[in-house]
Amino acid sequence: MYRCLSNTKSFIKDFHPLSVWIYIGTLFLLAMTYTHPAYLAMLLLSVLIAIHFAGAWKEWRSYFIFALSMVLLIVLINAFISSAGSTVIWNGPIVPIFGQLTITKEAAAYGLNMGLKILLTVSIFCLYQAIVDIDETLSFALKIIPKSAVVIIMAFLMLPRIKRNLAEIRQVMSARGANFDTKGIIAKIKAHFPLWNILLLTCLEGSWDSAESLHARAFGVGRRTFYQKRSWMVRDSIIAAGCIFSLTGFVFGLFGGQGFFKFYPKLGNLFTKEDFLLISWIFLGLSVIVVLQWSYYKWKFLRLKI
């Protein structure tokens, strides 16, 4: 059945979960493998463009603030602690244990590159959260890994349920005269011990109830049935083809040793003609999802085709 979608974010979420996994998995593979700053910058650019079309800039800003603190910390630690590299740009005072503080161009470049990789990884997580429908993803996972998917679902529900039970137990015990605001660490531990004891019993009873519910529904006996079937559409095939196109360039570049950068003892060549061609190749394949999004709203006749 064709579903008419009215906004950008809902269209991107309308992809098949498997095609989204292929796309996100391709990004992670490239991000974890490459060490060349130009390749990492290309991947970050493609992710940011996808985040823009997913309408997730507000969410990405919070991710960026979190990642920026980690990036600055890594750059500072690597620049001051690591003295590897042949190009010294600053000699500092002698510090006990660490010795003389020395900043080299190679160490600073390596720290910046690791910060870029962290920012890329965090941005991929943000994109994944923006384009993935959790309910449909778990529903699809139940078809291929039913037992593992049930464990994941129960794990997602565990923390909110424990938090809710803890608040209820604390409220009941406070109404019965329990004092949890005592002074001193030992006194607080003694005051909270009955609370944790009851919480443990409540969790065990909840797991027993879940097991009985699964048994009553004949979980694991025969093939699982589904009320709604997610169809693989043309758009999903196009995304998968784009990822395969990028992975082909990735494999081709591995044989040529492209995508990797030499930081020590001296910085290598930053950019070559071969790097430009391979970056363009990979970027073209990863841009398919953005082209689909733009085309979907630019030409209305494509809505019935893809």
Closest CA to 75 of 98, 47, 105: 105
CA-to-CA distance for 67 and 114, rounded, in angstroms? 12
| Domain range enclosing 100 | 13-137+235-293
Mean pLDDT, 10 residues at a time, over the chain (306 residues)?
40 76 90 90 91 82 80 75 67 61 75 87 86 70 66 67 80 77 73 78 79 70 63 83 92 87 76 86 89 75 65
**Residue 189 falls within a domain, yes or no?**
no
Assess contact for 289 and 50: CB atoms under 8 A: yes
Dig out the tokens for 286 from the structure.
């990863």
pLDDT given for residue 45 in this prediction: 92
> What's residue 148's pLDDT?
66
Closest CA to 32 of 43, 21, 22, 48: 43
pLDDT at 2 (0 to 100): 34
Residue 20 lies in a domain: yes
Q: Give the model's pLDDT for residue 157.
A: 65
Count: domains in the chain = 1
In a domain, 167, yes or no: no
Q: How many CB atoms lie within 10 A of CB 45?
A: 15
| 125 part of a folded domain | yes
Q: Is the pTM of this model over 0.75?
A: no
* pLDDT at site 223: 66
